[in-house]
Every structure is written in C-alpha cells, then in structure tokens.
Amino acid sequence: MEHKPVPTQDIASRLVLNPSTLKGRTAIVTGGSSGIGLGIAQVFGLLGAKLVIVGRKADKLDEARSLLAETDAEILTIASDVRSYEAATDVMSRTIEHFGAIDILVNNAAGNFHCPFEKLSPNGWKAVIDIDLNGTFNYCHAAFEGLRQSTFGGRIINISLAQVLSGWPGSAHAASAKAGVTTLTRSLAVEWGPHGIRVNNVLPGPIENTEGLARLYEERGQAEKELERVAVGHFGQTDDIGQACAFLASSAGNFITGCDMTVDGGRWLKRSWT
C-alpha cells in the first residue's frame, strides 16, 4: 500500500507556531525519512531548525531531502541503523562537525508488525526490542554530551504508545519495547534535569499516510473499525505529531519534562486494541 508524504505547503498552512520557534536549533530525527518522522522533520524545518535525518535506506533519505528542501532548512542526511551504538556515536560526531551543536533529539525510529505472541519468533521479538528500545538507549546515551552543551537546553522527545499501559494484543513486542522507552524517558527526565535536558514522551494515535497504519490496520482490513474508536472521528496527520513535538522542543516546553503528551484524537479512551 503506497503512502505519500503530506505536501510541505499543506503543513505550512496548518502551522500555528511562529516560523522562528526553532530557529538556530539543530534537531536529529531518527526514522525521519518517512511517515511520522518525516512529518516531524517537515514541521521542524518550517520552524527554522537545522535537520539531521537518520534512516536506513539511502533512496528514501534522498526523497526526504528533496521534500524537506521546500522548508528551506539546512539538511544533513545519514544512512544508519539505530540498532548500532557505534553508528549512533558516529551520527553525533557528524552532527557536531556539520552544525556545531545538538539541541534536539527525536527518537522516532520504530519497527512493528501484527503477530500473535505464540507465533512470534525470538528473532521477531528481538528485532523490535532492538529498534525501539535499544535504539532509543543508543541515541540518548550517545547524544548526552551534545545535549548537555546545548545553549538552548537539550531536548529529547521519545515517540511512545498509549498501549504501554493497557498492553497491545497482537503487538506485545512493540508495547513491551515502548513501555521501556516510556520509563527510560521518566528516568532521564530526573537524571538529566540538572543538565538542562528536558525529556518527554509523545504518544501518537493512528496517523494517515504511515506504514504503522498500513501494517497494523489497513492491510488487515481493520482501518474502519479503528476509525470508529477515535473520539474525534478521523485519523491524525503526521504534522499533528510534528507540532506537538515542536511545542515540547521549543522554549514553550522549558518547564515540561517527564510527561506523556498523548496526540491521538482520544483514541486511548476506547481501550480495546484488537
């Protein structure tokens, strides 16, 4: 199923934050070449941030670069897998070399698929834990020194899930990984508060034009049922998540740390996930 990114002009027309909200800040977005990560990068670029986009596939990074060029942002793309700690440290070095600072880190890269637990192979479990949880560890840990030195005050935004509280039948692997991410966020908010680093979770609901919606709902014929569970009656857009992240990354978020910002149109209130 093909999913096209939202045109940058459409996102620009929906922005409510001042275009200089993130001016001068350097943001690293993992999984930033498509879906929610790309939406976050588009919003950040439109708000004046310099962008470091990390993704596994060079061709997708090239496409993202063309789209993001419309924001007028300075862009560095890096083909890298979040599962490697050494590669994460290399991303930090290259970011400092290119832009001179690391101000914002968005841990968005994720892997997920629907699979009943008894059918999930040990390697399937490991792949998702490695990407979602260990990948977040790798980037938070490797970015510490850069974020500590940020003149704006460092920011980490971890993309998590409301299902970490309820559990997620059919996606136990992803819910378990994101539960780890959620508590990592809260632990770091306290440990790194004295270093001026704010650490928050953003919890997206079902978002149009994403692989997550396709894999978990559309390809299984479950999209209509899922839509009925969204209180506001429609799926979200990638820039809904982008604007929430931008708020937390900006000076508006100076006194916000360790929080879960749920951006899901009220989806979590209807707790059935199957």
Stretch that binds ligand HXC, among 1-9, 70-78, 106-114, 148-156 (CB under 6 A): 106-114
CB of 88 to ligand HXC, least distance (A): 16
> What region does 121 belong to: left with phi over 0, alpha with psi -120 to 50, or beta?
beta
Considering the rule CB under 6 A, would residue 112 count as an interface residue with ligand HXC? yes
Residue number of the CB atom closest to ligand HXC = 111
In 3D space, the residue among 122, 32, 114, 103 whose CA is nearest the CA of residue 68 turns out to be 32
Count the residues of the shown chain that bind ligand HXC, applying the rule CB under 6 A: 18
Q: Determine the Cα–Cα distance for residues 75 and 235; give it in Å rounded to an integer.
A: 29
CB of 266 to ligand HXC, least distance (A): 14
Which residue, 188 or 213, is less far from ligand HXC as judged by CB?
A: 213
Considering the rule CB under 6 A, would residue 186 count as an interface residue with ligand HXC? no
Interface with ligand HXC (CB under 6 A), residue from 27, 53, 82, 128: 128
Handedness of CA 246, 252, 256, 259 (dihedral sign): negative
CB atoms within 10 A of CB 171: 26
Interface with ligand HXC (CB under 6 A), residue from 3, 98, 148, 215: 215
Residues between 137 and 176 that touch ligand HXC (CB under 6 A): 174
Handedness of CA 231, 236, 240, 245 (dihedral sign): positive
What tokens does 158 get? 């971890």
Stretch that binds ligand HXC, among 59-67, 123-131, 140-148, 187-195 (CB under 6 A): 123-131
Interface with ligand HXC (CB under 6 A), residue from 103, 211, 239, 240: 211
Identify the H or E element spanning 79: strand 75-79
Site string for ligand HXC, 5-44 (x = CB under 6 A): ----------------------------------------
Q: Determine the Cα–Cα distance for residues 132 and 178; give it in Å rounded to an integer.
A: 7
Considering the rule CB under 6 A, would residue 79 count as an interface residue with ligand HXC? no
CB of 208 to ligand HXC, least distance (A): 11
Q: Determine the Cα–Cα distance for residues 259 and 187; give it in Å rounded to an integer.
A: 11
CB atoms within 10 A of CB 240: 21
Q: Determine the Cα–Cα distance for residues 180 and 173; give it in Å rounded to an integer.
A: 11
Residues lying near ligand HXC in the complex (CB under 6 A) are found at: 110-113, 115, 121, 123-124, 127-128, 131, 174, 206, 211-213, 215-216
